[in-house]
Structure 1
Amino acid sequence: MSYAIIACRTLEDELNLAMRETGCGCPVIWVESDYHLDPNLLRSKLQLEIDNLKDIESVLFAYGCCGNGLVGLKATTAGLIIPRTEDCISMVLGRPGEKFERQKQVYFLTRGWMEGSKSILAEYSHAMERYGEKRTKRIFELMLKHYRYFMLIDTGAYKLEDCFDKAEELAKNTDLELIMAKGDIWFLKKLLTGPYNDDFCLIPKGGTVNIGHFGLARPVPSNQTGAG
């Protein structure tokens, strides 16, 4: 069976590692993380990529529901295989056979989520340049009022020292505590190899993704990490 992968750029480190470890040589279409800011724009971009595919039997998505950005996608050119998760956090923090429980008051970070042009790190730098330190601190106090922690996830796909200092500085500047967590890429490896069981939404060619495919009965709020 011929596959193609459509993946969020924020998962580039983790997906590339999963591909190396599984020997997967499928072509990857990378989508910039900026599209997560608007679920409608994300849906339109993903649909365009689906529509442009040729001679592919199935499309693997390195995305979850992502603020309903994948709800409404049409399997126009191939069947779709989508992780049955709210967003990509579940794909790098969950454990095999365990339901991922989202921790409250935690803003999740990886190197990929920190490097995007619209990441919280980029937005903080932009605000500092435009408004100065005092006003920026007030803006981010409001933005992060429901958070107590930044969690830097060690997925094993990059060197922590490449981003630890930046995460620590961001936490200091926003008066949040930086904590660490051990992640994993097992879900991404399963996406590449199967089996495609209840962990995935399977949309046959000609079908349309709906919220029920994710086991959800109501809209999913957009992920506050800025990624899917």
Structure 2
Amino acid sequence: MVKKKIYVISCAVLARDIKEVAREMDLALEYKFLEAGLHENPHKLNTQVQKAVDQIDVKGDADRIIIGYGVCGKGTVGLNSRNVTLVIPKVHDCISLFLGGDAAYQAQFKKYPGTYYLSAGWCEEKAEPVSRRRGRAWFGNRQLVYEDVKNAHGRAAADQTFAFLNSWQKNYQRAAFIETRSGQAARYEQMAKDMADEYGWQFERIKGDQGLIRQMLTATESTSGILVVPPGHTIAFDPVGSTLTASPVWDPGAGGAAPETECVVPSDRPDTDLGLKIKTGLGIDAGGTYTDAVVYDLENRSTLCKAKALTTKWDFTIGIENALTQLDPDPLAEVSLVALST
């Protein structure tokens, strides 16, 4: 009888730490590491991971597939396998994995919210030496060179363009290098220090924790930090608990009725006239760093009040509440339409 294999599909940023833990625990794993940065495009992340899962599924030799991602902008929501168990950590992103869980990440966030986190794996996959970063900026997936922009459009245009593209640096005040005992840590820590010096940030080395990675590589049952998804189930997101969960997949070809769902519509205002013209709206955008809230006069097309708070990725409702509490309560009370984006 052929021994079943354990596969790992993961972001390349985690490659060093996963392989190190596997060696320490004498685990025989089959790896597929995907390009770093897929969390910036959740749809692409989902497509590539699902494709890798499907390729393993049809082989018929897998005991389980370990997904080395977290929620990652909900890019992992909907992942499923017909025949193989999936294992995924219940974290929001890789920072939590390097620190040992969302609780450790929350503690760091409360201590210093404006932090740019780096690890040996992140530096290897994403970081560039300061000498190469100078005079360069990213516009989406395209890297611009200052001299090229200046030659094409003039110095003033180049200065304005690069000032805008590099304005993200102002959102951070600290660079934190997460030490997880991964190889060549000193070299990558120096890269983090150089980045902090270049951008005028403070630098701090913080101790990481590979405990959750160990759990991820060995778990066969769900725990508080790990979700085990049985075959025929899909990874879902529980907005109440702000965590990943598993839901059965309905296969129309298998017959039977679809799972019953209940739509609950608040009815505290039964006399509401749906034909009334909406005058005041509330817009909320939970971005990568900040959460913005704006109360807008739809009739006069003017902003009545606005506020900004740091985004709390482990629980977006905290950042949203912090932004809402800063708004003028009078126009906020007149809101009859809310739009939310993340």
Q: Same fold (TM over 0.5)?
A: yes
- Does structure 2 retain, via aligned residues, the 8 Å contact 1:82–1:200? yes
Judging by fraction of residues, say which structure has more helix: 1
User: Corresponding residue for 1:59?
Assistant: 65
Taking the aligned partners of 2:40 and 2:64, their CA distance within structure 1 comes to 27
Taking the aligned partners of 1:213 and 1:202, their CA distance within structure 2 comes to 18
Matched, 1:182 2:207: yes
User: Corresponding residue for 2:185?
Assistant: 160
- Does structure 2 retain, via aligned residues, the 8 Å contact 1:66–1:223? no
- State the number of aligned residues: 220
Shift of 1:217: 7.3
Shift of 1:120: 5.3
Change (3 A) 1:206 1:122: farther
- Does structure 2 retain, via aligned residues, the 8 Å contact 1:152–1:179? yes
User: Corresponding residue for 1:112?
Assistant: 121
Letter paired with 1:199: G
- Does structure 1 retain, via aligned residues, the 8 Å contact 2:21–2:213? yes
Residues 184-217 of structure 1 deviation map (CA, whole Å, 9 limit, x = unaligned):
2111111122363121122211111111299417
Taking the aligned partners of 1:152 and 1:70, their CA distance within structure 2 comes to 26
Shift of 1:20: 0.5
Change (3 A) 1:221 1:211: farther
Taking the aligned partners of 1:136 and 1:172, their CA distance within structure 2 comes to 22
- Structure 1 outlier segments of 4+, above 3 Å: 120-127, 132-137, 217-224
Taking the aligned partners of 2:11 and 2:240, their CA distance within structure 1 comes to 18
The equivalent position to 2:216 in structure 1, one of 166, 169, 191, is: 191
- Does structure 2 retain, via aligned residues, the 8 Å contact 1:68–1:220? no
User: Which ranges in structure 1 are unaligned for 5 or more consecutive residues?
Assistant: none
Letter paired with 1:115: E
Change (3 A) 1:109 1:140: farther
The equivalent position to 2:172 in structure 1, one of 147, 151, 157, is: 147
Taking the aligned partners of 1:126 and 1:221, their CA distance within structure 2 comes to 25
- Does structure 2 retain, via aligned residues, the 8 Å contact 1:153–1:182? yes
Shift of 1:36: 2.5
Residues 95-154 of structure 1 deviation map (CA, whole Å, 9 limit, x = unaligned):
7xx8231511111001211222xx353799356241169668734651122211110111
Matched, 1:170 2:173: no
**2:204 aligned counterpart, secondary structure:** strand
Letter paired with 1:131: Y
Taking the aligned partners of 1:124 and 1:221, their CA distance within structure 2 comes to 30
User: Corresponding residue for 1:121?
Assistant: 128
User: Corresponding residue for 1:210?
Assistant: 236
**2:232 aligned counterpart, secondary structure:** coil
Provide the TM-score with structure 1 as the length reference.
0.83
Taking the aligned partners of 1:70 and 1:194, their CA distance within structure 2 comes to 18
Taking the aligned partners of 2:165 and 2:183, their CA distance within structure 1 comes to 27
Taking the aligned partners of 1:138 and 1:214, their CA distance within structure 2 comes to 39
User: Corresponding residue for 2:87?
Assistant: 81
Judging by fraction of residues, say which structure has more strand: 2
Letter paired with 1:46: V
Change (3 A) 1:107 1:20: same
Q: CA RMSD in A?
A: 3.1
Matched, 1:99 2:103: yes
User: Corresponding residue for 2:302?
Assistant: none
Residues 142-168 of structure 1 deviation map (CA, whole Å, 9 limit, x = unaligned):
112221111011111123221233222
Residues 41-87 of structure 1 deviation map (CA, whole Å, 9 limit, x = unaligned):
00000000001012213211121111111011122341211000001
Taking the aligned partners of 2:286 and 2:81, their CA distance within structure 1 comes to 21
Provide the TM-score with structure 2 as the length reference.
0.57
Letter paired with 2:39: H
Change (3 A) 1:207 1:124: farther
- Does structure 2 retain, via aligned residues, the 8 Å contact 1:58–1:81? yes
